[in-house]
Amino acid sequence: MATKKTAAKKPAANKTVSQQPVATQPAVDAPSSTNPTPVAPAQRVSVRMYRQGLGDCFLITFPNASGKSFHMLIDCGVVLGTPDSKTRMAAVVRDIASATGNQIDLLVATHEHWDHVSGFIQAQDLFDKLTIQQLWVAWTEDPTDALANKLRAERRTAEKALRMAVNHLAMAGDTDTAQRVSSLVGFFGAASGSTDDALNYVKKRAPGGKPRYCQPSGSPIVLEELRGVRFWVLGPPKDEKLIKKS
């Protein structure tokens, strides 16, 4: 699931886990002949991109109507084979907890790839301590959607076949092809069902166990807490031919 936000980004942090506070102070305009008194502009959106390795984890902080910070977390993972991955992801989640006061107002899990969801398993004990107010996932995770169920079943079948192919290729001595196929399978974790486990955990953390299943449409999502901010869901398309198009 992809989203588009009408918000300005800040430069990325230079460290694996940034130690700078999320709620940054607004810049102050320098005095001039026409404006001799420095004036602080309205607070801007803060974007923190964690550099835990190859993977996605973004903490976006908005100023909301009440004057408090609204924290949105998009994904939390690192690619399979990353050294000390559990340690890295635990450090990321501890920083998220510190920056948000243990409350995530909106958690978005975009799609079922290990480098986007591994942290929910690798640092599950730390995520258990966080309060999650809202959860968004793609319509492809909706258990009541017939097309979503079909696509997930086909993906599981293909994943199992690829895992078997890795073993057969290695036994046949074709190690180069086996490594390439293994790299592809790695997006679904070290074992069959790994990404399923991560997303199932996330969905259970939704208030009342009811996440929002987002679909692409012409209308943006508007939250009462974030006046002036709109979210567009860009995909995946709810069309079997389009979603399977390479």
CA distance 32 to 181: 62
Taking phi over 0 as left and psi of -120 to 50 as alpha, with beta for the rest, 53 belongs to left
pLDDT per residue over 200-228, tens digit each? 999 999 999 899 999 998 789 999 989 88
Backbone angles phi, psi at 63, to 5 degrees: -80, 130
pTM of the model: 0.77
- Tell me the per-residue pLDDT of 144-184, one tens digit each, with 9 for 90 and over: 999 999 999 998 888 888 888 888 888 888 888 888 888 77
Please report which residue ranges of the chain form alpha helices under DSSP H. 85-100, 114-117, 119-122, 124-127, 146-171, 175-185, 194-204, 240-243
